[in-house]
A and B are shown apart, each in its own frame.
Chain A
Amino acid sequence: MLYRENGQFKSSYGEDQQMLPILQDRRVMFGLLAFAFFGVPFLASDYLFLSILIPFLILTLAAIGLNLLVGYCGQISIGHAAFMSVGAYAAYNLALRVPQLNFLVVLVLAGLVAALVGMLFGIPSLRIKGLYLAVATLAAQFFMDWVFARVKWFTNYSHSGSVSTAPVELFGWRLDSPPEKYLFLLGVLVVFTVIAKNLVRGHLGREWMAMRDMDVAAEVIGIRPVYAKLTAFAVSSFYCGVAGALYGFIYLGSWEPLAFNLTLSLNLLFMIIIGGMGSLLGSYFGAAFIVILPIVLDQVPQMFGIAMSTATTSHLAFMIFGALIVFFLIVEPHGLARLWAIGKEKLRLWPFPH
């Protein structure tokens, strides 16, 4: 009743090709964005910003990057936090050695550096497939871990291996307080999501999806696998590089090479699998799930008034996390985005059952 498309006719190609063709979708999306930009900064507490919203926004960006590679192009990568670290250290070195650069320029350049490194580590994908490729991408993870811990130039010869950054300044606006950081990140994320959506709907995205579905057939009809796979790696690493730079500069402020370790890579993979591979909305859902779940799990015993040692709480959190992963994979292997799509389908018929 509410969600029907009756009466919504398109009279131009532009209208037909818009990202949100249904009016209700547009209204909800703009409403959400308005609330996110103008409502949340005044309503949320500092803790909510610093521990939930800011990591959520940054990790969504990284999850979108990984989703472009794994979900849309079908190349499995379990070492993607390496590209986040490349972006973070590239941004650190640029901000340190060329201080006149605007932070947005630093972000884009860091992303480009990460894209180059990503293409380099993507070369094996031209020969290796499937789970073999997944394990081979771990080489990127461990190699980058090692490079940033050993090559002293990257950490500006800091004797502890840790680097720290000053708060970000953008056109004279200093990002000090949590709401300011949140607004900046939200803006960056919205822009990058729109870019990703358009990439995926266009020529490049279709090449990726052809490679994912049946790469031999794709090659037969003239899609160059080198071009498709390497661009997938490049764009995905660009996104992860920008996300890594934001993670280091805005979320952590001060980090060491271990901040981008294998656990983060696996968490990114969890995000897109639980959220839904091959779906940008799924990246959002997955990132929210992975960011919020550990915090909720840590607090649950307290809320029920059960006194437990922190060790037991942590172990329980691990167990529930693992069990939930398995549960989700059994119940809905296509992720939360699929549940959302089913929900929308039901909504179209509501209140009728069929």
Chain B
Amino acid sequence: MTKHWPVISLISVLLVGLVLPLATGASPPGFYVEVLLGGLMTGVLYSLVALGFALIFKASGVFNFAQGAMVLFAALAVARMAEQMPLWLAMILALAIMVVLAWLIERLVLRPLVNQEAITLFMATLGVTYFLDGFGQTVWGSDIYSIELGIAKEPVMILEGLFQGGILVNKDDFVAALVAAALVAGLAVFFQKTATGRALRAVADDHQAAQSIGIPLNRIWVIVWSVAGLVALVAGVIWGAKLGVQFSVSLVALKALPVVILGGFTSVPGAIVGGLIIGVGEKMAEVFLGPVLVRAFDLAGGGIENWFAYVLALLFLLVRPEGLFGERHIDRV
């Protein structure tokens, strides 16, 4: 019990910080719930991107920095193609494009780099990011495009009885959360029930053992990257419907990095839980902690959410160096 005191104390400090605005009455409870919901929704968006990271790392040990660029590429494909054809057709075509892209990346980039160090693979995916950025903008253009899912953008007020004035929620946030939940459930079923899913888990556990029982490694990697491409497509459509599709969306995917290190590189539930923690922590810190810091240190404005996510992830890493749900890594000499 006392062995776990670092984790317990960190979590207690964070929980205290979380309820502090409510307890001290610094903010009306309705607004507090709005910020909480906003954080959860943002967290869902981050989790969608982090899922892709976790999937690829789990199966092939590659930290795919290009996930953000893949999200953007998929979103651009859907947005541009939807100008010419119905949305569902555009999404199916975009999925096909992502699968082809996955196959190309595996063939041209990853296969020649088998067995290289982690940093080399990471830099290779960084190169892929640059390439996708340029290629996506060449093919689809640099303007702001939109994806119309048909969901109203105006906010809705709920629970007007409980809280004064009600709580403001957005329909598209709920849809995003539902879609993310459905995706995670679908992936869980895929991994547990189907043969391919089991093969993926076998590869994630131990490459050599999986090969020795006859699982084709290269094909599995293509499947993994395609699944990650599907996740990127879903994330791209959700992000794009909310924020609009433009090149700069890929920069937001950088926020998914603290999510994966908090949750653990190899863990799918870690991506979800990590995303929610980061999303809530970020928004709470920005809205409640930010003004306090600004007043205390006479700062030129807030904006602490840029680094707060990373610092939060860093604190968690200090007590659990492999992330909340990551695999414990034992060094042997």
List chain A positions with a Cβ less than 8 A from chain B: 70, 76, 124, 127-132, 134-136, 138-139, 142-143, 145-146, 149-152, 161, 214-217, 220, 262, 266, 269-270, 273, 311-312, 314-319, 321-326, 329-330, 333
Interface 9-mer from B163-171, B176-184, B197-205, B299-307? B299-307
List chain B positions with a Cβ less than 8 A from chain A: 63, 108-109, 112-113, 116-120, 122-124, 126-135, 137-138, 142, 254, 257-258, 260-261, 265, 297-301, 303-304, 306-307, 310-311, 313-314, 317-318, 321-323, 329, 331-333
Contact B134 A315, beta carbon cutoff 8 Å: yes
Residues of B within 8 A of A323 (CB): 127, 131
Contact B317 A136, beta carbon cutoff 8 Å: yes
Contact A326 B310, beta carbon cutoff 8 Å: no
Q: A127-B317, A333-B116 are in contact. Are A151 and B127 (CB under 8 A)?
A: no
By DSSP majority rule, is chain A's interface helix, strand, loop, or mixed? helix
- How long is the Cα–Cα vector from A152 to B135 in the complex, in angstroms? 40
Ranked 8 nearest A-B pairs via Cβ: A318-B134, A322-B131, A325-B127, A322-B130, A139-B310, A319-B134, A142-B307, A326-B127
Residues of A within 8 A of B133 (CB): 318, 322
Residues of A within 8 A of B314 (CB): 124, 136, 139
- How long is the Cα–Cα vector from A216 to B297 in the complex, in angstroms? 43
- How long is the Cα–Cα vector from A217 to B331 in the complex, in angstroms? 10
CB distance from B292 to the nearest CB of A (A): 14
Contact A129 B127, beta carbon cutoff 8 Å: no
Contact A138 B300, beta carbon cutoff 8 Å: no
Residues of A within 8 A of B313 (CB): 135-136, 139
CB distance from A116 to the nearest CB of B (A): 19
- How long is the Cα–Cα vector from A70 to B124 in the complex, in angstroms? 17
B118's partner among A131, A145, A152, A325 (CB-CB below 8 A) is A131
A-B contact count (CB 8 A): 148
Residues of A within 8 A of B303 (CB): 146, 149-150
- How long is the Cα–Cα vector from A326 to B142 in the complex, in angstroms? 24
- How long is the Cα–Cα vector from A223 to B157 in the complex, in angstroms? 62
Closest chain A residue to B141, Cβ basis: A311
By DSSP majority rule, is chain B's interface helix, strand, loop, or mixed? helix
CB distance from A331 to the nearest CB of B (A): 9
- How long is the Cα–Cα vector from A321 to B133 in the complex, in angstroms? 11
Contact A216 B333, beta carbon cutoff 8 Å: yes
Since A127-B321, A142-B307, A151-B297 are in contact, a sample of 11 more A-B pairs with Cβ atoms closer than 8 Å, ordered by chain A residue number, is: A127-B317, A135-B261, A138-B258, A142-B306, A146-B303, A150-B299, A312-B138, A318-B130, A321-B131, A325-B126, A329-B127
Residues of B within 8 A of A270 (CB): 123, 126
CB distance from B118 to the nearest CB of A (A): 6
Contact B124 A325, beta carbon cutoff 8 Å: yes
Contact A146 B135, beta carbon cutoff 8 Å: no
CB distance from B295 to the nearest CB of A (A): 13
Contact B304 A146, beta carbon cutoff 8 Å: yes
Q: A127-B318, A142-B306, A329-B120 are in contact. Are A216 and B331 (CB under 8 A)?
A: yes
Residues of A within 8 A of B108 (CB): 326
Residues of A within 8 A of B298 (CB): 152
26 contacting pairs across A/B (C-beta < 8 A): A70-B119, A130-B118, A131-B122, A132-B261, A132-B322, A136-B314, A136-B317, A139-B310, A142-B310, A145-B306, A146-B307, A149-B300, A150-B299, A150-B300, A214-B333, A220-B333, A270-B123, A314-B134, A315-B137, A315-B138, A319-B135, A321-B130, A322-B128, A322-B133, A323-B127, A333-B113
- How long is the Cα–Cα vector from A129 to B122 in the complex, in angstroms? 15
- How long is the Cα–Cα vector from A323 to B333 in the complex, in angstroms? 37
- How long is the Cα–Cα vector from A270 to B304 in the complex, in angstroms? 28
- How long is the Cα–Cα vector from A271 to B310 in the complex, in angstroms? 25
CB distance from B69 to the nearest CB of A (A): 9
Residues of A within 8 A of B310 (CB): 135-136, 138-139, 142-143
Contact B299 A317, beta carbon cutoff 8 Å: no
- How long is the Cα–Cα vector from A326 to B110 in the complex, in angstroms? 10
B124's partner among A134, A319, A326 (CB-CB below 8 A) is A326
Residue of A76, A138, A217, A311 most packed against chain B (CB within 10 A) = A138
Contact A322 B127, beta carbon cutoff 8 Å: yes
Residues of A within 8 A of B138 (CB): 312, 315-316, 319
Contact B128 A132, beta carbon cutoff 8 Å: no
CB distance from A67 to the nearest CB of B (A): 13
Residues of B within 8 A of A132 (CB): 261, 265, 317, 321-323
Residues of A within 8 A of B257 (CB): 135, 138
CB distance from B203 to the nearest CB of A (A): 19
Contact B261 A318, beta carbon cutoff 8 Å: no
A273's partner among B123, B304, B333 (CB-CB below 8 A) is B123
CB distance from B76 to the nearest CB of A (A): 13
CB distance from A268 to the nearest CB of B (A): 12
CB distance from A134 to the nearest CB of B (A): 7
Residues of A within 8 A of B113 (CB): 329-330, 333
Residue of B134, B304, B311, B331 most packed against chain A (CB within 10 A) = B134
A152's partner among B299, B304, B323 (CB-CB below 8 A) is B299
Residues of B within 8 A of A220 (CB): 333
Residue of A76, A136, A151 most packed against chain B (CB within 10 A) = A136
Contact A319 B131, beta carbon cutoff 8 Å: yes
Residues of B within 8 A of A319 (CB): 130-131, 134-135, 138
CB distance from A336 to the nearest CB of B (A): 14
CB distance from A75 to the nearest CB of B (A): 11
Residue of A127, A129, A150, A266 most packed against chain B (CB within 10 A) = A150
CB distance from A177 to the nearest CB of B (A): 35
- How long is the Cα–Cα vector from A99 to B300 in the complex, in angstroms? 26
Closest chain B residue to A152, Cβ basis: B300
- How long is the Cα–Cα vector from A134 to B260 in the complex, in angstroms? 12
Residues of B within 8 A of A311 (CB): 137, 142
Contact A325 B261, beta carbon cutoff 8 Å: no
CB distance from B329 to the nearest CB of A (A): 8
CB distance from B257 to the nearest CB of A (A): 5
Closest chain B residue to A273, Cβ basis: B123
Contact B307 A329, beta carbon cutoff 8 Å: no
- How long is the Cα–Cα vector from A217 to B304 in the complex, in angstroms? 40
Contact A269 B311, beta carbon cutoff 8 Å: no
- How long is the Cα–Cα vector from A145 to B310 in the complex, in angstroms? 13
